[in-house]
Structure 1
Amino acid sequence: MSIPANTPTTGRRAFGVLAAGTVISALLPVASASAHPHRGRLIAADDFRHGLRRWAVELEQGGEVTASRGVLDINVPAGATVWFRQRLTGPYILSYTATAVSAGGAWDRVSDLNNFWNATDARSPHDLFATERGGALAEYDHLRTYYAGYGANTNTTTRLRRYVGEPGNRPLVYDYTRPLLTANEPNRVRIVSDGSTVRWWNNGSLVFDYRDPQPYTGGHFAFRTTWSHFRISDFEVRRVPGRH
């Protein structure tokens, strides 16, 4: 199935920073049980063998988004947001595998493995999908959400933002120049939402570790990218082990 066309900073903190703001390390060693959790109760999953019925797709300039044979394929010339329709409430651990495709395709730019999570829209806080959005990034400024941009800006930046639902205001929490994407290599992503604890892991390394004094604890998850080609699999959400 194809889908046709249709910053100020707060709390900036990095893992090792020079005086001039140069990040010398964006990774922590694997030292937390969150990297290798016991399998908590399954909350949601998609094996990507039954189309896009569990997803809502918002495209800026068309492209193709399909779900078949175990792969969510996002191949787009501009902005694309693919929302999981089920609302999620923490504490949970969300995981998936994503590969940035570089095989000579028209939109095979290695960039922008991005996520929204615990997202609500200030204009329709009880129903994210009651407000139309067209895929351009600025249209998401009304969200209250966490936003990770891994290998964004043509694979030059990796950032965490905490959107506050105000146009033009997307507060920056972390701003790194690495880690970045590697073409055709899998990224095993794990997102932890556990009260004030917000973590984003990739391939067993902790990329973002944020303690939010006013956390977003529930809302919607999305894959977000622009001008790129990703293949995604192994999507599941589980309760944090030992929690109900």
Structure 2
Amino acid sequence: MTTTRRALGALAAGAGLAALVPGRQASASSRHRPGRLIARDDFRHGLSQWATELQDGGTVTAARGVLDIDVPSGATVWFRRALRGPYVIGYTATAISAGGANDRVSDLNNFWNATDARSPDDLFATPRGGALAEYDHLRTYYAGYGANGNTTTRLRRYVGEAGVRPLILDYTEPLLTANRPNRVRIVSDGSTVQWWNNGRLVFDHDDPEPYTRGHFAFRTVWSHFAITDFRVGELRQRP
């Protein structure tokens, strides 16, 4: 059993945030008690839980335990169920480099707590086609890990206005490594916004006006990713 599976299993059994987020787990666990597993996909039963938006085609499949995203340009894969914090998302993603047409190691990106300013009660009531500019009207957090040809890693907070994507944090590293798993954790806990990779806290933002509900998505551009073990766990404040 992999470390990822053990950690996520522990969450389901009641180990809470401490099992998923190393480094700060002592302080985090002191604020929370164990929560339940509230959503999951083992990627063995197709895309019924997901909605895809593809700029120029490509393929997105869910079978044999893998969500496979193999696309020539922009792609967003939304989890259909809206989430409300506090919660922690976990998944493992591997950038595939094996000689395929789209095997460009770049853009392990996420939206979360996303709503669309044009249809705030229904994200899917407004059509989008996969090009990044079409997402400017979202109110959302956006992490771009190894983006722009695997040269940048950034956190943005979209505010629902065309052409406005405020940059919160910007690193020249860490970046992606071909065929190496990235065990990602996203924490949404009120004003606390965190994005972890392989036990490393990449983004840690304190938002005075936080987004606390909305949709999660995988987002990438001209790449090929294999994603496994998607889980969402509840975080509960201690009394």
- Which bracket does the TM-score occupy, shorter chain normalised? 0.7 to 0.9
Q: Within 5 A, what are the aligned runs for 1:151-166?
A: 151-166=146-161
Distance in 1 between residues matched to 2:28 and 2:178, nearest whole Å? 25
- Structure 1 runs of 4+ aligned residues shifted over 2 Å read 34-40, 241-244
Which of 127, 137, 144 lines up with 2:139 in the alignment? 144
For residues 67-86 of structure 1, give each alpha carbon's deviation from its aligned partner in whole angstroms, at most 9, with x where no partner exists: 00000000000000000000
Q: Aligned residue pairs: how many?
A: 216
1:196 aligns with 2:188: no
Identify unmatched segments of 5+ residues in structure 1: 1-29
Partner of 2:8: none
3-state secondary structure, aligned to 2:133 = helix
Q: Which amino acid aligns with 2:23?
A: A
Alpha-carbon distance, 1:233 to partner: 0.3
Q: CA deviation at 1:241?
A: 5.0
1:240, distance to aligned residue in structure 2 (A): 1.5
Query: Are 1:32 and 2:24 counterparts?
Result: yes
Whether 1:58 and 2:53 are equivalent positions in the alignment is yes
Kindly report which structure 2 residues correspond to 1:89-100, keeping only aligned pairs within 5 A, or say none. 89-100=84-95
Structure 2: runs of 5 or more not aligned? 1-21
Query: Per the alignment, do residues 103 and 215 of structure 1 end up closer, same or farther by CA in structure 2, a change over 3 Å counting?
Result: same
**Cα separation, 2, equivalents of 1:187 and 1:36:** 22
Q: Please report the TM-score for the alignment, with normalisation by the length of structure 2.
A: 0.87
Corresponding residue of 2:96: 101
**2:126 is matched with which residue?**
131
Q: 1:207 to 1:237 in 2, by over 3 A?
A: same
Instruction: Supply the AA of the counterpart residue of 1:132.
Output: P
Per-residue displacement from partner, 1:120-140 (whole Å, max 9, x unpaired)? 000000000000000000000
2:162 maps to amino acid? P
CA distance in 2, matches of 1:34, 1:137: 38
Bigger proportion of residues as helix: 2
Q: Is the 8 A contact 1:118 1:146 kept in 2?
A: yes
Query: SS at 2:148's partner residue?
Result: helix
Tell me what 2:9 maps to.
none
2:166 pairs with 1:174: no
Residue of structure 2 equivalent to 1:7: none
Q: Tell me, what secondary structure is at the counterpart of 1:138?
A: helix
In the alignment, which of 77, 85, 105 is matched to residue 80 of structure 2? 85
